[in-house]
Amino acid sequence: MRPAFPKLLSSQIAFDIARTILDGFDKHYRLFREASRDAKRYFEQRDWKTAQKEARDRIAFYDTRVQESVQTLEDEYDQAELSDEVWREVKLHYIGLLINHKQPELAETFFNSVCCNILHRTYFHNDFIFVRPAVSTEYIEPEEAAPTYRVYYPAKDGLRFTLKRIITNFQLNGTFADLDRDVGFVEARMRAMFGGDLLMEPNHQIQVLASLFYRNKGAYVVGKGINGNRIYPFVVPILYNRKGELVLDTVLFDPTLITVLFSFTRAYFMVDMEVPSAYVHFLRSLLPNKPRSEIYTILGLQKLGKAAFYRDFLHHLRYSSDCFEVAPGIRGLVMVVFALPSFPYVFKAIKDYFPPPKDTTRAIVKEKYLLVKNHDRVGRMADTLEYSNVAFPRSRFSEELLAEFKEVAPSLVEEEGDEIIIKHLYIERRMVPLNIWLTEAEKRGDHAAVEHGIVEYGNAIKELVGVNIFPGDMLYKNFGVTKHGRVVFYDYDEIEYITDCNFRDIPTPRNEEDEMSSEPWYPIAKNDVFPEQFGTFLLGNPQVRKYFMKHHGDLLTAKYWRDAKQRILDGHVEDVYPYPQELRFSYKPQLPAVQAA
C-alpha cells in the first residue's frame, strides 16, 4: 500500500484506475469471444458435452473479471486516495478511453460493476457511474476482415445460387448430406415468402449476419430479405442427421417463431461478435417488439441486458403511476411475489423463514436459481434477473405488500426516506399461472384450451427431463403460460437433477395392515420419487385427467423416469427443436392406421 499522494497526482491516479478497469473488461471480452468462437469447433466435432460445459462456464466469465479488477484496485490504492474528486475524474478518463472502442456499452456496464463493488450504494445514481450510456453505439464498424453482415443479390446471381453461397460462406468443416436438395427446400419456401411472381424492387437483397448462432446441437443462419420497403426475417437451422451429415433442417419466417427462438426461456447463444451493438441493431430489425435488453441477454451478454432492463424499468416508473401489489395466484411458501400491473414482469424475494412442509434455506434457494441460470432451459424455464439493493418509491408500494414484506421477509426491507430498499430479489417475465389459465378456460367451456394447456404442461416436463431437470413441485401453480401459449416452469426452489433422484414404484402391500396404513409402511429416502403419486395432486379435475392420461399418462410411471435417467447417465444428449416438428423438411406426418376389411 502506498502513502497518501500529492493532489497534483490525482488526475494520473484517476487515469490509471480507468485504464485498469478497461484492461479488465478487454480481457473479459477477449475470453468471451474465444469461447464463442470455440462453439464452431465443438459443433463441427459434435462434441456436445464440451459445448454445454463451455456455455455454462462462459456465464461466469464476467463476475470473475470484475472481481479481478476490484482486487487489483483495492491492492493498489488506499481508500483515502479514492476521493470523490478522483472518482469523478475516473469516469471522464474512462469515457475518453472508449472513443473508437468496439464494445463501449459493454465496457460502461463493466465499469459500473467494478465501481459498485467498491462504492456504497448511495453512489449508484450519481456522477461516478454510467446511469445512462455516454458513448454512442451507432454505426460502429468492425476492424476485422469479416463485416457484421453479408449482402447478397439474388436478382443478379439467382436465388438458388445465392442461398447455397450463403451456407458455404460459413465454411463449416463437415459434409452435407445433400446441400443442393436442402437449398431447394429453402428456395421453395422463400419464393412463397416473397409472393411467387412478386415484382422484385431495385433494392431487392438478402442480408445475413456473418457469424452463425450456436446453441444445443444446432447452428443457426440469421438473416433478412429486403424488397422495397418490406423486410422478411428468416432463420435456417443447420443440424446433423443420424449419419453425422449436415442438413438444413427448416427455414423459419414467422416472426412469432423467430421470437420464440430468441426467447427468455432458452439458453444463451454462442456468437462471435466484434461489435455486439451491430448484431443487436440487426436483430431488432427482425424483432422490433423485443427489448434491447432481452436481445443482449440471449446473446450471452446478460450483464448489459440486466443493466438495460433496469434503465427501462426506471423509465417506466417515471411515466406510470400504478402501485406495486401482491401478484395474483396462490401465494407460495418460499417467495414474496409482487408486480406492477402496468409492467410485464414479476418481482420475487425469498422469505426469511419457510413453514412446513418446506425444508430449505435462503442459500439453497439461491443455489437452485443459479443452477437454472447456468443450465440449458430448452424453452421451458424462465430466465431470471438477480438484483441487490433495489430502491422503490415508497409511495408506489401498496400497504398490503409492505405489510407482507415486514411479516415474512423483514431482513430484506429497509425504509430510507421516501424509498423502500429491497436487499435481494429476482425479476422474471410475467406469465399467467397455469392453474388460473386452466380454470378460466374451463369456465369459458373452452375444452380445446384446456387440452392445449395439459399437452403443453406435459411437453414442458418431458423436455426438462431430457436435459436432466426434475421440477420437484409439479403443481400447476408453478408453471406459467406465455403470450405465445407455451407452458414454462418458473418455481425453482425444489428443482433437482434427474440423475440425483431415485424413481420408485410403490411396493405391493405385504398384508392387509400395510394396505390400510395411513403412513407409508416402506422406507423412503430423501431423494426417492414415486411418480404414481403425481395423479393424487394433479388429476382431481375429471376433464384435466382425461387429457393428461390421453397425452402424458407415461409421466405417472416410474419406468418412464428411470428410462430417461438411464439415457442421461449413458451420455445421450437430447435433440432440442425450438420450432414445431411439422416445419422440418424431414417431417413425415403420421397416417391414420388402415383397418382391415
Residues with catalytic roles: 383
DSSP letter (8 states) at residue 270: B
* β-bridge pairing 432-433 and 479-481: antiparallel
Q: Which amino acid would we find at residue 401?
A: L
Cell of 293: 435488453
CA distance 437 to 431: 10
The values of phi and psi at residue 413, to 5°, are -115, 135
Q: What angle do CA 501, 504, 508 make, to 5 degrees?
A: 160
**C-alpha distance from residue 530 to each of 520, 536, 560 (Å):** 12, 11, 12
CA distance 552 to 458: 6
- E-assigned strands of 93-227? 149-152, 205-209, 213-215, 218-227
Q: Residues 6 or more apart from 64 whose CB is under 8 A from it?
A: none
| 3-class DSSP string for 83-101 | CHHHHHHHHHHHHHHCCCC
| 3-class DSSP string for 4-38 | CCCHHHHHHHHHHHHHHHHHHHHHHHHHHHHHHHH
CB 353 within 8 A of CB 334: no
Name the burial class of residue 583, with classes exposed (0-12), middle (13-18) and buried (19+) by CB atoms within 10 angstroms of its CB: middle
**C-alpha distance from residue 301 to each of 130, 294, 309, 369 (Å):** 17, 9, 12, 18
Q: Transcribe 106-121 into DSSP letters.
A: HHHHHHHHHHHHHS-G
- E-assigned strands of 122-245? 149-152, 205-209, 213-215, 218-227, 230-240
- Give strand pairing partners of 225: 206, 232
CB 458 within 8 A of CB 504: no
Q: Which amino acid would we find at residue 416?
A: E
| 3-class DSSP string for 493-554 | CCCEEHHHCEECCCCCCCCHHHHHCCCCCCCCCCCEECHHHHHHHHCCCHHHHHHHHHHHHH
* β-bridge pairing 432-433 and 413-416: unpaired
Q: Which residue has the cell 423486410?
A: 231
CA distance 239 to 250: 10
CB 397 within 8 A of CB 338: no
HSE-up of residue 207 (Cα within 13 Å, Cβ side): 16
Radius of gyration of the chain (CA): 27
CA distance 463 to 581: 14
CA distance 48 to 215: 10
